[in-house]
């Protein structure tokens, strides 16, 4: 009971404090009630598709379903727009003084002007011995892979200038490509495709892939797409080590290749001026477009999958809208572009002879006027690639490798869960597992990446036909009639044959029976009609008939 | 057939009686006769005797049924009632009322109809009953998430009002207090606790949590180490090792038992009982009786093989040991020692505890036969050797442990701010502790936790005994030091004990090392950077030298024309465009459905070479299919788009529109928002992918009862009210009371009417 007395007093105390608090609340008022408003522009950025309106006279369940889904998507959109605050980095560009073209500013000047770390991003590697270099940056932008024509392969952590491995494969190297992590890379050598680890140890020699000239890696599908001199486009699933598809393009030597990062479609350029689009699911090209009068020399597709830039032997540079397959604009380059590359922010770099030119605002309707930046090198340019998340353009040429500063090229905000340039060893392992779990199957590659979220409206017959094709037999087909075995000599061959004949063509017979019946009915009707007609020839005495 | 015969006899009697009466009329006779005959038929039909009222005509032979058809009126009966004085006025009045009313009761309905009506009523009732579930079911169907069991009480401490709400007064004192309370209108209602207070109540205090965490951590660590040790020891295959181990164990057990006898006689008794049990078991079984297969084989070998003989003897010895009856209270070897303790003076006891209990010679109790003695002596030597080895091993362990401890102690003084003397003293305490622990080490894992607690208590006790008051406070500090735990790597159980003393200073010391390491790490990169800059400087020098005006990038009109002409020349040979157009037309043609020609030349007419089927026939037998939908590249001359359907995606697509949706657009828009974490924030992903049904692990999910969703009703029907009612609850109850009163009032009014 004592205890009881105690808690009653306590209650009294709390009550008084609450009253005090209430008084405080009364005094203070929230000047900004409710949630913080989100600017319309940000909301627009995360709008996904059109809102669905509830049709008039819809059932209750439908109304609810639509309302719930709409509320959910709106909530998601709002939250995403809110979190957009967390991507504060912005890209800037090089701006010249009055009457000064930005393309006349030399790399050395830029390197001097910027801070030391950024300045160190402009450097040259003198590798004149092993011929023109191909290059590839890893997806995080930390590591650089260079492969010389004459067999020199090296991977470098280019920011710390830490040489990971260096070797000479003693064979012609056509192309080099990082696989999903910095731990592995593929080298297209004279005959076969080889896969090495980051220390330069040969992991695989894939003999199914021969005479590979160009490679592309599809990171979300774990597919290595290769284009060979024999005209084969092959897909290698690097997660399971299986060849997913091998397509004979029948287009001759394939030495121009690009991927569309939006829908993982491979673009190939051909000597007859066409560019063809491929997926591993179709033996023929998805789209074939005539782009140039001469052979296509180089290709590049932008990150959003909206624009494609091509350059051909006719010295033209063309920009296409590949959603509508329409050319936007084209221009002449004096020497024609041998290599093209698009940065994450849409800067186009074109290698014309020994000069690398960078163009701004190419993607869009306004035509190209003059380059944003330019840089002269020694020797033929063989490879061009922008470093992801950095304002750096890597150039592989006859005299080695040059890293060039291009302000405003890289995406300033990275998705740390997807590609984190600063990730640790453990994070990489974690990411690898997650990426493998989220691996997109190669069947889903197509022109429209949103195809999966659409209802398949094919007819039953069509689907049935496809099913038969896929399975190799008709799952709905009727079983063939099998007569029962009977005893006492009734299962003799003759008897079985008789029984079979009884059932044979049962379907056909049904049809015939039906058609006969219909015909007889029709005839009957006709007869009746004709009878009526006959009766129609009335004589004058017919009126006396009853 | 006994009753029938009786009947017959009765009838015969009747007949005979009628014959006696000569004057009676014939008709009646005849009738009787017929009846008699009818009854003779053997049927058991009993004719109901006619019952009639008293009438005017009274005959001695029969009763007259004259007034049977007439109805008796109420008035006939009432007349007499009116006159009788005994009947009460009330009944008279009622009867008079009845008389005045003209209404008659309706006939009861037949069975089918009544049943139908009953069914109808029952249906209505059940529908009413069931339909009250309708809302809740719909609600549950629509609910985005269901959490089972449905009425979960929140974990953690409850609010006082919640706890007390259901409590009823029982004792008169309580009743009095409550009367006072309610009389004085104590503010018992409204939220007694503010939400903040509630939260604070829910949360454990920080210190408490820390203590608990530390304790748990320690226990876990200890357990894991012990388990690891046990595992490792279990793995050891050496028989000798196990022998030594077992012996040591036994010895320890003996020691413990001795202590137990002194300190905890009840526990010792229990142990004794256990031993008795083991003895019984041994006596029951044939184990160690040298009667098994193995023993037989050994018996054959015993003649020639010394070791086999020894093994057999060991077995027998084991049996004897186990079956030895306890003298006075005990019999087992441990008991014998105990007995020795009690009977023999201490100086005799001392060496005996050390000596191998297996050796009967040394026990002062001769149980073996004479011939066995010779081999036993041989055994004795070996066991003595083993003993020595064992002791050596243990000694070595001790030395190693001490060394390790010393190492740690060396580390500690530099870190600790306590005077060195105290540390030394602590050391002493630890060593003594170690010995105790050693004894306990071999216990089972299951007993581990209790043991651990015991040891701790012992240690603290001893610490207080051996050290000064100052150290005592230090010990307390150590206890507190447990709370702020850092990362300490413990290598063994012994270390763990040390841990208790050392936790705090080490916890402080640990982080400092990584910091210095980090500082070193940060100091390194600048060197590298310097190198970079050097490299760059070298490279840029060259770049400066190659500053050239670039070629014009965009070409003038004239130049362009020129170039076009050049290109035309260059590509004069291969006509790219015409090739492409051909390709496209081929594709289009392939896409178009072919016309099926079923004409059979020569069928129904003249045939032969050079004869064409007539026009009507071609028209009749050529089947044209509907043209396909227009090609996607119809308006794009320089593009060929493949019209092939991609079947690979189709197998993953939705092929039938799901239920509530009326068209594909609605469905597609409903799934247009991705639910992956790549596109959404974490909260949204969680919200979107939350499970439809959540169940609590291990909780029983009871079927839903009405009370779950109709709470107000149940509270109203709560019967005897609780002593304490709080806030809304009370108000609700008052409301119900009021309403109940109203109801009663109405009812009474009705009655009045």
B552-598 pLDDT, tens digit each: 444 445 566 666 666 666 655 568 888 899 999 999 998 888 888 88
* CA B483/CA A116 separation, integer angstroms: 47
Greater pLDDT, B61 or A315: A315
Is beta strand B693-695 parallel, antiparallel or unpaired with respect to B146-148? parallel
Is beta strand A223-228 parallel, antiparallel or unpaired with respect to A133-137? unpaired
Residues of chain A neighbouring B673 (CB-CB closer than 8 A): 48-49, 69, 72-73, 76-77
Contact call for B539 and A122, based on CB within 8 A: yes
* CA A51/CA A65 separation, integer angstroms: 13
Among residues 211-270 of chain B, which lie with CB inside 8 Å of chain A?
A: none
Q: Does A304 touch chain B (CB under 8 A)?
A: no
Instruction: Pick A446's closest partner by Cβ from B646, B679, B684.
Output: B646
Instruction: Pick A355's closest partner by Cβ from B173, B550, B647.
Output: B550
* CA B376/CA B384 separation, integer angstroms: 12
Q: Residue A167's pLDDT is what? A: 95
Residue B217 predicted with pLDDT over 90: yes
* Minimal C-alpha gap between B645 and chain A (Å): 9
- A381-434: pLDDT as tens digits: 999 999 999 999 999 999 999 999 999 999 998 888 899 999 999 999 999 999
Averaged pLDDT for residues A239-267:
95
Interface ipTM > 0.90: no
Contact call for B636 and A55, based on CB within 8 A: no
Residues of chain A neighbouring B687 (CB-CB closer than 8 A): 72, 75
Block residue for tokens 């010792």? B268
CB pairs under 8 A between A and B: 254
Averaged pLDDT for residues B338-360:
42
* CA A194/CA A210 separation, integer angstroms: 10
Contact call for A287 and B544, based on CB within 8 A: no
Q: Residue B42's pLDDT is what? A: 58
Among the listed residues A275, A163, A412, A15, the one whose alpha carbon sits nearest the alpha carbon of residue B641? A275
Block residue for tokens 């028209």? B619
What band does B709 get if pLDDT is binned at 50, 70 and 90?
A: confident
Q: Does A289 touch chain B (CB under 8 A)?
A: yes
Q: Does A45 touch chain B (CB under 8 A)?
A: no
Averaged pLDDT for residues B267-291:
85
Residue A271 predicted with pLDDT over 50: yes
What band does B259 get if pLDDT is binned at 50, 70 and 90?
A: confident
Find the closest chain B residue to A115 by CA distance.
B533
Contact call for B548 and A376, based on CB within 8 A: yes
In which region does residue A166 sit, left (phi positive, over 0), alpha (psi from -120 to 50) or beta (all else)? Answer: beta
* Minimal C-alpha gap between A208 and chain B (Å): 24
Q: Does B668 touch chain A (CB under 8 A)?
A: yes
Interface test with B, best of A4, A53, A122, A252 (most B CBs within 10 A): A4
Block residue for tokens 């622990």? B437
Averaged pLDDT for residues B127-144:
89
Residue B739 predicted with pLDDT over 60: no
What band does A31 get if pLDDT is binned at 50, 70 and 90?
A: confident
Q: Does A68 touch chain B (CB under 8 A)?
A: yes
* Minimal C-alpha gap between A111 and chain B (Å): 9
* CA A226/CA A244 separation, integer angstroms: 12
- B589-630: pLDDT as tens digits: 988 888 888 888 788 888 888 888 888 888 888 888 888 889
Q: Does A25 touch chain B (CB under 8 A)?
A: no
Find the closest chain A residue to B648 by CA distance.
A443
Q: Residue B302's pLDDT is what? A: 82
Q: Does A87 touch chain B (CB under 8 A)?
A: no
Instruction: Pick B553's closest partner by Cβ from A69, A112, A370.
Output: A370
* CA A331/CA B552 separation, integer angstroms: 13
State the CB neighbour count (10 A cutoff) for residue A146.
Answer: 25
Averaged pLDDT for residues B121-143:
91
What band does B24 get if pLDDT is binned at 50, 70 and 90?
A: low
Greater pLDDT, B538 or B183: B183
Q: Which contiguous run of DSSP H or E holds residue A258?
A: strand A256-260
Greater pLDDT, B462 or B278: B278
Among residues 430-449 of chain B, which lie with CB inside 8 Å of chain A?
A: none
Q: Does A274 touch chain B (CB under 8 A)?
A: yes
Averaged pLDDT for residues B269-285:
87
Instruction: Pick A315's closest partner by Cβ from B173, B563, B674.
Output: B563
- B139, HSE (Cβ side, Cα atoms, 13 Å): 6
Q: Residue B391's pLDDT is what? A: 58
To the nearest whole number, what is the mean pLDDT of chain B? 67
Contact call for B647 and A451, based on CB within 8 A: no
Residue B1 predicted with pLDDT over 70: no
Q: Does A113 touch chain B (CB under 8 A)?
A: no
Q: Residue B327's pLDDT is what? A: 56
Among A36-45, B20-29, B342-351, where is mean pLDDT lowest? B342-351
Contact call for B576 and A355, based on CB within 8 A: no
Q: Residue B151's pLDDT is what? A: 73
Find the closest chain B residue to A68 by CA distance.
B670
Q: B47 vs A19, A287, B3, B8, B263, CA distance in Å? A: 95, 109, 15, 14, 101
Q: Does A44 touch chain B (CB under 8 A)?
A: no
Averaged pLDDT for residues A281-287:
94
Give the CA angle between residues A357, A359, A361 to the nearest 5°.
175
Contact call for B642 and A417, based on CB within 8 A: no
Contact call for B187 and A331, based on CB within 8 A: no
Averaged pLDDT for residues A460-467:
89
* Minimal C-alpha gap between A99 and chain B (Å): 15
Instruction: Pick B533's closest partner by Cβ from A76, A116, A444.
Output: A116
Handedness of CA B242, B243, B248, B254 (dihedral sign): positive
Residues of chain A neighbouring B188 (CB-CB closer than 8 A): 8, 11
Structure tokens at A511: 């049809």
Block residue for tokens 């590609």? A419
Contact call for B636 and A72, based on CB within 8 A: no
Residue A456 predicted with pLDDT over 70: yes
Q: Does A366 touch chain B (CB under 8 A)?
A: no
Q: Does A11 touch chain B (CB under 8 A)?
A: yes
Residue B589 three-state SS? helix
Instruction: Pick B668's closest partner by Cβ from A21, A291, A453.
Output: A453
What band does B81 get if pLDDT is binned at 50, 70 and 90?
A: confident
> Residue B365 burial by CB count (10 A; 0-12/13-18/19+): exposed, middle or buried?
middle
Among residues 171-230 of chain A, which lie with CB inside 8 Å of chain B?
A: none
- B158-178: pLDDT as tens digits: 777 777 776 777 888 988 888
Among residues 504-563 of chain B, which lie with CB inside 8 Å of chain A?
A: 528-529, 531-533, 535-536, 539-540, 542-544, 546-555, 559-560, 563
* Minimal C-alpha gap between A486 and chain B (Å): 45
Q: Does B576 touch chain A (CB under 8 A)?
A: yes
Residue B731 predicted with pLDDT over 60: no
B148 contact partners, CB below 8 Å, separation of at least 6? B693, B694, B695, B696, B699, B701
Among residues 146-175 of chain A, which lie with CB inside 8 Å of chain B?
A: 160-161
- B675-698: pLDDT as tens digits: 988 889 999 999 999 999 999 899
Q: B24 vs B13, B27, B31, B50, CA distance in Å? A: 16, 9, 12, 20
Residues facing residue A189 across a β-bridge: A173
Instruction: Pick B644's closest partner by Cβ from A76, A282, A378.
Output: A282
Find the closest chain A residue to B531 by CA distance.
A161
Read off the pTM: 0.57
* Minimal C-alpha gap between B205 and chain A (Å): 20
Among residues 475-494 of chain B, which lie with CB inside 8 Å of chain A?
A: none
Residues facing residue B148 across a β-bridge: B695
Structure tokens at A301: 């597709």
* Minimal C-alpha gap between A79 and chain B (Å): 7
- B419-466: pLDDT as tens digits: 444 444 444 444 444 444 444 444 444 444 444 455 555 544 544 444
Contact call for B673 and A72, based on CB within 8 A: yes
Q: Does A52 touch chain B (CB under 8 A)?
A: yes
Q: Residue B560's pLDDT is what? A: 61
- A145-200: pLDDT as tens digits: 999 999 999 999 999 999 999 999 999 999 999 999 999 999 999 999 999 999 99
Q: Does B167 touch chain A (CB under 8 A)?
A: no
């Amino acid at each position: 009971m004592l205890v009881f007395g105690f808690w009653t007093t306590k209650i009294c105390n709390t009550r008084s404090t609450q009253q005090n608090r209430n008084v405080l609340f009364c005094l203070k008022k929230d000047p900004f009630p409710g949630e913080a408003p989100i600017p319309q522009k940000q909301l627009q950025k995360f709008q996904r598709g059109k809102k669905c309106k509830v049709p008039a006279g819809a059932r209750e369940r439908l109304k609810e379903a639509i309302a719930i889904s709409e509320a959910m998507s709106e909530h998601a959109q709002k939250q995403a727009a809110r979190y957009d605050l967390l991507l504060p980095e912005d890209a800037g560009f090089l701006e010249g003084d009055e009457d000064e073209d930005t393309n006349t500013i030399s790399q050395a000047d830029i390197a001097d002007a910027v801070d030391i770390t950024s300045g160190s991003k402009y450097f040259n590697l003198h590798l004149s011995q092993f011929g023109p270099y191909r290059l590839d940056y890893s997806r995080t932008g930390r590591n650089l892979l260079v492969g010389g024509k004459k067999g020199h392969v090296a991977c470098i952590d280019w920011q710390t200038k830490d040489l990971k491995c260096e070797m000479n494969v003693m064979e012609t190297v056509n192309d080099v490509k990082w696989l999903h992590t910095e731990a592995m890379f593929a080298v297209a050598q004279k005959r076969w495709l080889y896969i090495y680890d980051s220390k330069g140890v040969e992991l695989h020699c894939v003999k199914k892939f021969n005479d590979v000239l160009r490679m592309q890696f599809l990171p979300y599908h774990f597919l290595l797409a290769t284009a060979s001199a024999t005209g084969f486009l092959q897909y290698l699933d690097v997660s399971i080590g299986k060849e997913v598809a091998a397509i004979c393009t029948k287009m001759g030597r394939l030495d121009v290749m690009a991927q569309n990062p939006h829908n993982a479609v491979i673009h190939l350029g051909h000597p007859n001026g066409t560019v063809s689009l491929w997926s591993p699911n179709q033996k023929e090209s998805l789209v074939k477009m005539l782009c140039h009068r001469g052979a296509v020399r180089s290709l590049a597709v932008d990150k959003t999958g909206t624009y494609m830039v091509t350059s051909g032997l006719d010295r033209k540079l063309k920009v296409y809208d590949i959603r509508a397959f329409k050319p936007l604009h084209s221009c002449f380059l004096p020497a024609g572009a041998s290599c093209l590359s698009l940065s994450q922010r849409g800067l186009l770099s074109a290698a014309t002879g020994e000069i690398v030119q960078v163009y701004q605002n190419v993607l869009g309707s306004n035509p190209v006027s003059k380059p944003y930046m330019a840089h002269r090198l020694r020797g033929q340019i063989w490879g061009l690639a922008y470093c992801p998340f950095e304002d750096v353009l890597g150039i592989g040429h006859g005299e080695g490798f040059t890293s060039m500063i291009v302000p405003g090229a890289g995406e300033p905000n990275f998705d740390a869960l997807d590609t984190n340039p600063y990730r640790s060893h453990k994070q990489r392992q974690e990411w690898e597992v997650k990426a493998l779990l989220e691996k997109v199957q190669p069947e889903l590659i197509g022109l429209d990446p949103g195809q999966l979220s659409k209802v398949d409206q094919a007819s039953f017959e069509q689907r049935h036909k496809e099913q038969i094709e896929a399975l190799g037999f008709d799952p709905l087909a009727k079983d063939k009639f099998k007569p029962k075995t009977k005893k006492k000599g009734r299962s003799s061959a003759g008897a079985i044959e008789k029984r079979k004949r009884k059932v044979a063509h049962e379907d056909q017979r049904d049809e015939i029976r039906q058609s006969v019946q219909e015909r007889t009915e029709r005839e009957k009707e006709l007869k009746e009609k004709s009878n009526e007609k006959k009766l129609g020839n009335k004589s004058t005495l017919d009126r006396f008939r009853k | 057939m006994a009753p029938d015969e009786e009947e017959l006899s009765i009838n015969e009697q009747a007949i005979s009686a009628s014959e006696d009466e000569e004057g009676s009329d014939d008709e009646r006779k005849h009738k009787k006769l017929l009846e008699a005959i009818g009854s003779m038929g053997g049927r058991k039909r009993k004719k109901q005797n006619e019952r009639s009222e008293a009438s005017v005509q009274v005959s001695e032979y029969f009763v007259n049924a004259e007034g049977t058809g007439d109805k008796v009126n109420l008035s006939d009966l009432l007349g007499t009632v009116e006159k009788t004085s005994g009947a009460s006025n009330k009944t008279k009045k009622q009867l008079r009322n009845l008389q005045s009313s003209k209404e008659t009761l309706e006939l009861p309905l037949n069975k089918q109809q009544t049943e139908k009506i009953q069914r109808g009523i029952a249906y209505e009732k059940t529908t009413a009953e069931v339909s009250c579930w309708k809302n809740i079911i719909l609600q549950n169907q629509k609910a985005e998430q269901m959490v089972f069991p449905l009425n979960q009480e929140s974990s953690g401490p409850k609010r006082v009002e919640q706890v007390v709400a259901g409590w009823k007064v029982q004792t008169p004192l309580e009743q009095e207090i409550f009367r006072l309370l309610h009389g004085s209108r104590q503010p018992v209602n409204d939220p007694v606790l503010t939400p903040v207070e509630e939260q604070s109540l829910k949360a454990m205090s920080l210190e408490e949590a820390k203590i608990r965490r530390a304790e748990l951590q320690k226990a876990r660590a200890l357990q894991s180490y012990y388990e690891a040790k046990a595992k490792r020891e279990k793995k050891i295959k050496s028989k000798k090792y196990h022998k030594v181990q077992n012996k040591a164990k036994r010895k320890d057990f003996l020691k413990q038992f001795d202590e137990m006898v002194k300190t905890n006689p009840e526990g010792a008794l229990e142990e004794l009982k256990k031993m008795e049990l083991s003895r019984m078991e041994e006596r029951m079984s044939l184990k160690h009786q040298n009667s098994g297969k193995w023993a037989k084989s050994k018996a054959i070998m015993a003649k020639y093989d010394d070791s086999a003989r020894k093994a057999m003897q060991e077995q027998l010895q084991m049996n004897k040991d186990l079956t030895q009856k306890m003298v006075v209270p005990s019999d087992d070897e441990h008991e014998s020692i105990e007995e020795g303790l009690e009977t023999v003076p201490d100086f005799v006891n001392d060496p005996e505890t050390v000596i191998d209990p297996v050796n009967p010679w040394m026990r002062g109790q001769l149980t073996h036969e004479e011939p066995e003695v010779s081999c036993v002596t041989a055994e004795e030597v070996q066991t003595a050797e083993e003993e020595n080895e064992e002791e050596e091993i243990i000694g070595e362990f001790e030395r190693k442990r001490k060394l390790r401890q010393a190492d740690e102690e060396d580390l500690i003084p530099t870190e600790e701010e306590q005077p060195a003397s105290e540390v030394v003293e602590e050391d002493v305490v630890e060593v003594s502790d170690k010995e105790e622990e050693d004894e306990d080490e071999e216990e089972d894992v299951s007993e581990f936790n209790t043991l651990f607690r015991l040891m701790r208590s012992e240690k603290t006790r001893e610490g207080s005994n051996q050290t000064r008051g100052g150290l005592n406070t230090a010990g307390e500090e150590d206890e507190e030091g447990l709370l702020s735990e850092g990362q300490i790597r413990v290598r063994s159980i012994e270390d763990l004990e040390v841990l208790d003393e050392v936790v705090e200073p080490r916890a402080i010391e640990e982080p400092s090392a990584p910091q210095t390491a980090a500082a070193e790490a940060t100091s390194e990169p600048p060197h590298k950077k310097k190198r970079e800059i050097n490299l760059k400087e070298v490279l840029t020098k060259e770049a400066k030298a190659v500053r050239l005006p670039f070629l014009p990038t965009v070409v003038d009109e004239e130049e362009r024309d020129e170039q076009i002409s050049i290109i035309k020349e260059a590509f004069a040979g291969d006509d790219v465009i015409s090739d492409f157009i051909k390709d496209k037309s081929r594709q289009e043609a392939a896409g178009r459905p072919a016309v099926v020609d079923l004409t059979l030349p020569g069928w129904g007419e003249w045939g032969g070479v050079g004869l064409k089927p007539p026009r009507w026939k071609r028209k009749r037998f050529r089947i044209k299919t509907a043209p396909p939908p227009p090609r996607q590249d119809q308006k794009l001359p320089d593009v060929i788009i493949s019209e092939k359907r991609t079947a690979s995606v189709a197998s993953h697509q939705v092929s039938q529109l799901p239920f509530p949706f009326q068209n594909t657009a609605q469905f597609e828009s409903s799934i247009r928002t991705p639910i992956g974490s790549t596109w959404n924030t974490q909260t949204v992903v969680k919200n979107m992918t939350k499970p439809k049904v959540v169940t609590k692990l291990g909780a029983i999910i009871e079927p839903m009862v009405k009370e779950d969703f109709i709470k107000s009703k149940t509270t109203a029907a709560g019967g005897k009210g609780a002593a304490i009612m709080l806030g809304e609850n009370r108000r609700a109850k008052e409301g119900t009371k009021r309403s109940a009163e109203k109801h009663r009032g109405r009812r009474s009014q009705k009655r009045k009417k």
